[in-house]
Structure 1
Amino acid sequence: MPSAPLDRISHSLCGLTCLLLALLLPLDHLSAAQRPNILLIVADDLGYSDLGCFGGEIETPQLDSLAKEGVRLTQFYNTGRCCPSRGSIMTGQYPHRVGLGHMTRNLNQRGYQGHLDDQAITVAQILQQGGYRTFLSGKWHLGTEDPTKHGFEEFYGTLVSAKTFWDVDHFTRLPATRDTHTYPKGEFYGTDALGDYAIDFMRMGRRNPDQPWFLYLAFNAPHFPLHAPNKEIDKYADRYHIGWDQVRQQRLTRMKKLGIVPEVTKLSPRSRYWDWGEAEARVNPAWDSLPTDRRGDLARRMAIFAAMVDRLDQNVGRVLTSLRQNNELENTLIIFTSDNGACAEWDPFGFDIRSSRNNTLYWGDQLDRMGGPDTHHSVGSGWANASNTPWRLYKHYNHEGGIASPGIVHWPAGVKQSGKIISTPAHIIDIVPTLLEAAQVAYPESWDNIPTIPLPGRSLLPLLQGKPQSERTLYFEHQGNRAIREGRWKLAATRGGPWELYDVSRDRTELNDLAKTEPERVQQLARKWDQWAQENFVLPYPQDYRIDYLAPLQKP
């Protein structure tokens, strides 16, 4: 952000201005005294079609109930990767703008600092200035060490990407002087702990009934390592032996029946994948081509993944029960989404031990040990392709499989569109303006005497309330993968590859590349993307991302 001081508004006046504007700009039917509580729930590496309400076979009755009573957004976009998405969710900016164009390693470029920019402001800070209590239970992973310095009163969770769900010492409570839960040996499970502290934080927020609260419940499930209690794994132990090809077909059938995708939607072919450090892509194999023992190993991996999603949903249910018991559900704005598409890392068989080429084939009695405290698995590209049904590709990429998230909004007091499905494109950069409009808190013109950058997103509330929306342009980039979406047109490319053009109104599965027949449109959209990339510190690309899994680009 610009560093020049803004003489006419001091930091103290900024907070007062936000509060006064909050009182002067109520929604049409809610007074300032009726401002909603806000519950923002984010899953980690959840695929587009994993939830029951988006066509999946995983049992998610709590989230399904929110969808049935609220609104589903079927063209809700993310940035393609966890850190960048969470940076956008917290600030309302494109991730490079706030220093998180890649991950948490500093690449010594403005857009790739590896941590939330010192001058970035979070929605928690703005809401706190506007009179809200603010809490975070879950994954931070924005490259800084203390979320309580970014607007949150209380924090419990992981400061980095999850390494385990079984070790209580991997999770942090801040401020450090706060009391913590004590768990009997062998009974700690990270997703449950996040639910415990979420309920604690809501209880804190109720101490002053006249003061609304904001809770960011940022699950690190179902991100690897694949860890889940045996009770949930057993529920899915036999479900995935049919393989990813049949699961993809079954999901697409349900998605059409639910209205998530149009009836004419075609299933994309099995996707390509790029193994660790390799520049050449391969294609996910047919399930029936795999040996029996390999299929058994892979079915177990997906069963554990499903168990993680199931347990996440159960903890959402615990939070919803707390809201109902305290008569808060009606006027709590709940938004649910995922930070990116399902994760393919790194090949169809997944990895073990640590993120790398390591793979262990489990068979026979060894399958029963999978998902326990002494294991570390990923689900692999074949099942990730199924999780992202019917789209192409996955997390890291800017084709639909990487950037399309399930979106659910539930707010009976403010959004009376029960069961509605909305296919208008939206983006996680829209979350901050949505929360601020609902909270009746204005986005500040300056922060710490520094002018703020205008928010690139727009509030979702008019869209959710059925008001017509003007066409917009959305931008994407991660690791050289890139895209632009404008109306019915989408330009997309993989790292080092040429632009591809799709008419997503007819071909959202990105099967029919129109780049050669529409060269002028390609040039027009590419110019817009280039301008955005320059203005938002995307370009120049880092010459070295300092990661082993990403093959260097070939010199022409």
Structure 2
Amino acid sequence: MKAALLVATFTLIFVYLNGGQAAKPHIVFIVADDLGWNDVGFRNPQVLTPHLDKLAKTGVILNSSYVQPVCSPSRNCFMSGYFPYHTGLQDGVIRPTSPGFVPIKFTFLPQKLKELGYSTHVVGKWHLGFCNLKYTPTYRGFDTFVGYYTGAEEYYKHTREYDKFSGYDLRFNTSVYSEAKGKYSTRVFAERAVDIIKSHDKDTPLYLYLPFQAVHAPLEVPPEYENLYKHIQDLPRRTYCGMISALDEAVANITDALEETGLIDNLLLVFTTDNGGPFHGAANNLPLRGCKATLWEGGTKGAGFIYSKTLLKKTGYLNTGMMHAVDWYPTFVELAGGENTDPNMDGISQYDMLINGGPSKRKEFVYNIYDKSNSSAIRYGDLKLTRGSPGSHSDWYPLPHYGEGSDDPPQENVYQFRPYMLFNISSDPTEHFDLSAKYPELVAMMKQRLENWEKTRVPAYQPPDDPKSNPDLYGGNWSPGWC
């Protein structure tokens, strides 16, 4: 009786000290770049990710969490809660020399979380526009930024070559961060994240967005990680797997810091990829079809999980509820005690599904509706409809050879696609069986749904390359100031 009274008294004091409500949870949102479906240890034991595996298995593995086929569009979803065909980013990534961006009229997630009292930080890859300072992280809701603006670069030199230009791309807030030259980016970003965590006031809710460079090309890793995979004869795959293990260690260092500071006691950690893995870049998506830059499941079904010591009502299971990248925005806002007041947002809060283990609130979503081509794909319930070609890589790609010698790259089969294809993803997640000829009435129904989605499409915004982006004009650095 005395123990129960003590607990009740402590709870009342805790609530009183936190303004009449329980403390808002901290959020750590980790994004791996170009990580394949089959490139995590909890699916493929040949990949050594013991720390990610432990978090995933003691948390909730997400089995139907969808992303975009490539980088910028997915990050657009995370930050805006809108499908890319509603923001103009549906046709691809923002090139270093193109003045592309997500329009300012879209309130980014960190801006919303700051309104709810959060301290907001981003460490890693931005890739959402930088031609003007107003499109960069510290002008779109983040208190601090350590990372790079463009889509890819050298892991040690932090330089990016594009077309005929070359420049350094690493920032601390808006200043060039030259101190990190020669340091491996996965370690640079992990160390910065640990610094943020250790210096953070635990009474203030933290939103830490960690879009790592790993494991995007170019394939580079310190030897000690590559040496973990000496049995892999295929050199690109060996290096790629080493990069995954380096990322795994980085996540371990971050979670150790969260433990040490006590932040982990009231925290939701999310881990996801931004798109499927590029098979031609040593990634693997088995048993899914296709890869990065395609509308197949291998390009759009993202490897991921959530973890929390205290927030999740149900753990240690595989969640098959439908979710899309746009859903993270309203989910985090609800978790933070806020409300989504934007009636047009594509994202749906999946708080109940993720935190309570309830059903998904999503019944359908748009994989993408391209502007410059006729290709698109949508999902409704179990059904997936594709129009036009889903992409130029449409096979089921095997793992690179592990024995003596190395296999040649798989030969690409030539497919003649029907104008519309229909798949039942629940019974055929690997997309082997096109049902369009067998069920024309279902195709007609799905076509109507696609046409309804298309009515709100905005034109793709992919402005031409601008020579004013030349890093030579900015001391050899990729810099804002040219649009």
Sequence identity percentage: 31
Q: Secondary structure of the residue that 2:453 maps to in structure 1? A: helix
Q: CA separation in 1, counterparts of 2:36 and 2:79?
A: 21
Task: Provide the TM-score with structure 2 as the length reference.
Answer: 0.78
Q: CA separation in 2, counterparts of 1:430 and 1:41?
A: 15
Residue number in structure 1 paired with 2:34 = 45
Alignment of structure 1 residues 42-441 onto 2, 5 Å: 42-101=31-90, 102-104=92-94, 114-144=100-130, 145=133, 146-168=136-158, 169-176=168-175, 182=179, 186=182, 188-206=183-201, 209-239=202-232, 241=233, 299-344=234-279, 350=280, 379=281, 383-384=282-283, 387-441=284-338
Amino acid at match of 2:80: T
Segment drifting more, 122-131 vs 92-101? 92-101
Segment drifting more, 333-342 vs 114-123? 114-123
Contact persistence 1:482–1:492 (CA under 8 A):
yes
Contact persistence 1:50–1:56 (CA under 8 A):
no
Q: Secondary structure of the residue that 1:531 maps to in structure 2? A: helix
Contact persistence 1:415–1:461 (CA under 8 A):
no
Query: CA 1:167/1:489 → structure 2, altered by over 3 Å: closer, same or farther?
Result: same
Q: Secondary structure of the residue that 2:265 maps to in structure 1? A: coil
Instruction: Report how far residue 454 of structure 1 moved.
Output: 2.8
Query: CA 1:97/1:471 → structure 2, altered by over 3 Å: closer, same or farther?
Result: closer
Amino acid at match of 1:189: Y
Equivalent in 348, 354, 373 of residue 458 of structure 1: 348
Amino acid at match of 1:164: E
Residue number in structure 2 paired with 1:524 = 445
Query: CA 1:131/1:63 → structure 2, altered by over 3 Å: closer, same or farther?
Result: same
Q: CA separation in 1, counterparts of 2:72 and 2:335?
A: 26
Instruction: Report how far residue 66 of structure 1 moved.
Output: 1.0
Query: CA 1:405/1:95 → structure 2, altered by over 3 Å: closer, same or farther?
Result: same
Contact persistence 1:80–1:402 (CA under 8 A):
yes
Q: String of CA shifts for 1:115-152, please: whole Å, max 9, x gaps.
A: 11121111100001111000000100001352100000
Query: CA 1:316/1:181 → structure 2, altered by over 3 Å: closer, same or farther?
Result: farther
Query: CA 1:31/1:304 → structure 2, altered by over 3 Å: closer, same or farther?
Result: farther
Instruction: Report how far residue 227 of structure 1 moved.
Output: 0.7
Query: CA 1:487/1:545 → structure 2, altered by over 3 Å: closer, same or farther?
Result: farther
Q: CA separation in 2, counterparts of 1:335 and 1:96?
A: 25
Instruction: Report how far residue 494 of structure 1 moved.
Output: 4.7
Q: String of CA shifts for 1:405-434, please: whole Å, max 9, x gaps.
A: 112111232213221111121111110111
Task: Provide the TM-score with structure 1 as the length reference.
Answer: 0.68
Q: String of CA shifts for 1:35-87, please: whole Å, max 9, x gaps.
A: 11100000000001111113352111111111121101111100111000000
Q: CA separation in 1, counterparts of 2:175 and 2:53?
A: 36
Amino acid at match of 1:192: R
Q: CA separation in 2, counterparts of 1:528 and 1:483?
A: 11
Contact persistence 1:81–1:478 (CA under 8 A):
no
Query: CA 1:33/1:456 → structure 2, altered by over 3 Å: closer, same or farther?
Result: same
CA RMSD of aligned residues (A): 2.6
Residue number in structure 1 paired with 2:408 = none
Amino acid at match of 1:399: W
Q: CA separation in 1, counterparts of 2:129 and 2:343?
A: 21
Q: CA separation in 2, counterparts of 1:494 and 1:329?
A: 46
Contact persistence 2:52–2:251 (CA under 8 A):
yes
Residue number in structure 2 paired with 1:490 = 384
Q: Structure 2 unaligned segments of length 5 or more: list them.
A: 1-14, 159-167, 391-416, 466-483
Q: CA separation in 2, counterparts of 1:143 and 1:402?
A: 23
Q: CA separation in 2, counterparts of 1:530 and 1:412?
A: 44
Q: CA separation in 2, counterparts of 1:198 and 1:544?
A: 34
Contact persistence 2:87–2:458 (CA under 8 A):
no
Contact persistence 1:154–1:175 (CA under 8 A):
no
Q: CA separation in 1, counterparts of 2:20 and 2:110?
A: 22
Q: CA separation in 2, counterparts of 1:33 and 1:75?
A: 31
Contact persistence 2:26–2:266 (CA under 8 A):
yes
- 1:535 aligns to 2:456 (yes or no): yes
Instruction: Report how far residue 466 of structure 1 moved.
Output: 2.3
Amino acid at match of 2:250: N
- Matched length: 403
